Amino acid sequence: MAIEPIERTTVVRFGRRAMGSPLRLITVGATDREAAAAWAAVDTEIEAAEQALSRHRETSDLTRANRAAGAAWVDVDQRLRRALATADRANRQTAGRFDARVLADLERLGSVGVPQAGALVMSTAAGPAKRPVLRPGERWLSVEERRPRVRLAVPVDLGGIGKGLALRWSWRALRRATRAGIGAMLEAGGDIVVGGPSPDGGRWSVGIEDPRGLRDHVAVIAVAAGAVATSSVIVNRWWAPDGRLVHHLIDPATGEPGGSGLLAVTVLGPDPAWAEVWSKTLFLAGRHRVADVARSRGLAAWWVSTDGETGMTPAARVLTIWEAP
Amino acid sequence: MAAGPRRPIHLGIAVGISASVYAASLAAVTGLQSAQSAQLATDRAPLADAAARLDASNALLDSRLTAARGAFNASAAAFTNVAGDLGGFESRLRSLAGTVAAIHGSAVALPAAGAIPRVSSAGSVTAPPVHATTTASGKLP
């Protein structure tokens, strides 16, 4: 009598730090060699994206482009050109709610990082930073496709969308390195991309962090495939030079930290970069408008207000398998 | 041989000549009239053509008028039917207005806000195990 081989699900885990946060990869059903190849592809792509998009590196392409803003064209990696084009599109798609040009205000408020804005930003003690005024018809971004090179009219910050794009590109590299049907979860800085079967064989369970720290999660959602991004003010906060406690989610309309009445917003979507864009945009809408904006866009979104209330859209509710009582 | 009475030959000749002249005159007059009739017919030909075209146009216009009359009659009949239905619609609208007023009254009586029960997994107070947790963005150093 032949003995049936026991089918085992192979789960391989990798991790390191990247972009100032833990970078984790879980593969399900891949051979050790496949998993190692996937991790190598992710590792390479994350490093390349960070070198192109980070404003925390002295030698990054973004730092060079920001310091030449308003003056010269800069040869850059294709990733930065694509990221700037995506940021420009996000600005239009969100009717200006998402704006990479808030870097001047971040630096005025004392955000850490390699100085970028230089002489272009005239810092003031209070109120929005004085940005260079664009002439009629002038765009903040000029790109040249072939070379590639870019010219910025003003310095920009690609923090959240940059992380989302790094995940997008890493996920594609991972998929190219593995067979179809392999399950995987890629996590960087709190943003998550999943696809294929989970270690349990079904959908991936993703917890939404409780921003007040009273418990681990405010909700748990089941995701078959997609990206989850959270914009929250519980981590990246600091004391501004004028003594105020400020955070990194700047409302471009005021130049000041936005999102009145909210602690965190989480969005699930097909792409990590756009999940980042919408989580930030919804956060800046504030507690009174977050539901309307999210529903009007048909987004699956969860939010936690400063008084501890958890809200979600109808599209989010059908994905929620547990909510904190 | 006895000679017969002398006949007046000259009278016969005169009658013959007169008849010949008359015949010639009649022939000339007839020829002249025939030529004039032909000229008159030629002159009247364009007028006859125009009259024929006018007649054809009149016939076409008549047929169109007949068709238009038919369409108007059909429209009038349809309008009569619609007018008959309008009465029914008005009565139904009055009924709907009454229903709306009743619903509005009920809505006013409802509380301004209602508590929606929370979603939970079989009433569990502890979260199920998760594969990952989405946390704050912006942790860049």
- Round to whole Å and give the CA distance between A323 and A220: 6
* pLDDT surpassing 60 at residue A132: no
Residue of B nearest to A250 (CA): B138
Interchain proximity A230–B135, CB inside 8 Å: yes
Q: What confidence tens digit (pLDDT) does each residue in A165-190 have? A: 999 999 999 999 998 889 999 999 88
- Angle at alpha carbon of residue A228, lines to A62 and A280, rounded to 5°: 55
Bridge partners for A268 per DSSP: A228, A300
Q: What confidence tens digit (pLDDT) does each residue in A90-110 have? A: 999 999 999 998 888 888 888
Question: CB count, 10 Å around CB of A214?
Answer: 9
The pLDDT score that the predictor gives to residue B114 is 60
- Round to whole Å and give the CA distance between B135 and A279: 12
The pLDDT score that the predictor gives to residue A128 is 53
List per-residue pLDDT tens for chain B, 141 residues long: 455 667 778 888 999 999 999 999 999 999 999 999 999 888 988 898 999 999 999 999 999 999 999 999 999 999 988 888 888 888 899 999 999 988 888 877 777 666 665 555 445 778 889 999 998 765 443
Buried-state track B35-59, b at ≥16 Cβ within 10 A, e below 16: eeeeeeeeeeeeeeeeeeeeeeeee
> In this structure, which amino acid lies at residue B136?
A
Question: B-contacting residues of A 78-137, CB under 8 Å?
Answer: 112-113
Q: Does A71 touch chain B (CB under 8 A)?
A: no
- Contact at 8 Å (CB) between A91 and A83? no
* Chain A: closest CA distance from residue B112 (Å): 17
**Between the ranges A135-144, A273-282, B111-120, where is the mean pLDDT highest?**
A273-282
- Contact at 8 Å (CB) between B91 and A180? no
Q: What confidence tens digit (pLDDT) does each residue in A208-255 have? A: 999 998 889 999 999 999 999 999 888 888 888 888 888 888 898 888
Select the residue from B116, B118, B133, B134 to test the A interface by mutation, using most A Cβ atoms within 10 A.
Answer: B134
Select the residue from A116, A281, A322, A323 to test the B interface by mutation, using most B Cβ atoms within 10 A.
Answer: A322
Measured between beta carbons, which residues in chain A are less than 8 angstroms from residue B118?
Answer: 323, 325
Residue of A nearest to B130 (CA): A205
- Contact at 8 Å (CB) between A307 and A262? no
Buried-state track A285-319, b at ≥16 Cβ within 10 A, e below 16: bbbeebbebbeebebbbbbbbeeeebbbbeebeeb
Measured between beta carbons, which residues in chain B are less than 8 angstroms from residue A206?
Answer: 130-134
- Round to whole Å and give the CA distance between B20 and B23: 5
Q: What is the DSSP letter of A119?
A: G
Which domains, ranges and CATH numbers included, belong to chain A? 11-52+161-323 (3.10.520.10), 56-157 (1.10.3980)
Higher pLDDT, B114 or A295: A295
- Round to whole Å and give the CA distance between A36 and A48: 18
The pLDDT score that the predictor gives to residue B137 is 62
* Chain B: closest CA distance from residue A191 (Å): 6
Question: B-contacting residues of A 17-56, CB under 8 Å?
Answer: 19-21, 24, 26, 54, 56
ipTM score of complex: 0.82
* Chain B: closest CA distance from residue A58 (Å): 13
Interchain proximity B119–A320, CB inside 8 Å: yes
* pLDDT surpassing 50 at residue A1: no
- Contact at 8 Å (CB) between A225 and A194? yes
Task: Locate A104 and state its tokens.
Answer: 């001047």
Task: Locate A197 and state its tokens.
Answer: 């079967």
Residue of B nearest to A208 (CA): B134
Question: CB count, 10 Å around CB of A224?
Answer: 13
Measured between beta carbons, which residues in chain B are less than 8 angstroms from residue A273?
Answer: none
Interchain proximity B134–A26, CB inside 8 Å: no
Backbone dihedral region of A189: left (phi > 0), alpha (psi from -120 to 50 degrees) or beta? left
Categorize the per-residue pLDDT at A124 as very low, low, confident or very high, splitting at 50, 70 and 90.
Answer: very low
Q: What is the DSSP letter of A216?
A: S
Measured between beta carbons, which residues in chain B are less than 8 angstroms from residue A325?
Answer: 118, 120, 125
Task: Locate A36 and state its tokens.
Answer: 């190692």
CB-nearest partner of B134 from A190, A236, A322: A190
CB-nearest partner of B131 from A112, A199, A248: A199
- Round to whole Å and give the CA distance between A90 and A229: 15
Show which residues on chain B lie within 8 Å of chain A, measured between beta carbons: 118-121, 124-125, 127-141
Q: What is the DSSP letter of A130?
A: B
- Contact at 8 Å (CB) between A32 and A12? yes
Buried-state track A110-134, b at ≥16 Cβ within 10 A, e below 16: ebebeebbeebbeeeeeebbebbee
> In this structure, which amino acid lies at residue A282?
L
Q: What is the mean pLDDT of chain A?
A: 87
Per-residue DSSP letters for B19-31? Answer: HHHHHHHHHHHHH
Q: Does A189 touch chain B (CB under 8 A)?
A: yes
Residue of A nearest to B131 (CA): A205
Interchain proximity A189–B137, CB inside 8 Å: yes
Interchain proximity B137–A276, CB inside 8 Å: yes
- Contact at 8 Å (CB) between A93 and A210? no
The pLDDT score that the predictor gives to residue A233 is 87
Measured between beta carbons, which residues in chain B are less than 8 angstroms from residue A160?
Answer: 137-138
Q: In what order do the strands lie in the sheet with A191-195?
A: A11-18, A21-28, A183-188, A191-195, A226-232, A262-269, A300-305, A310-312
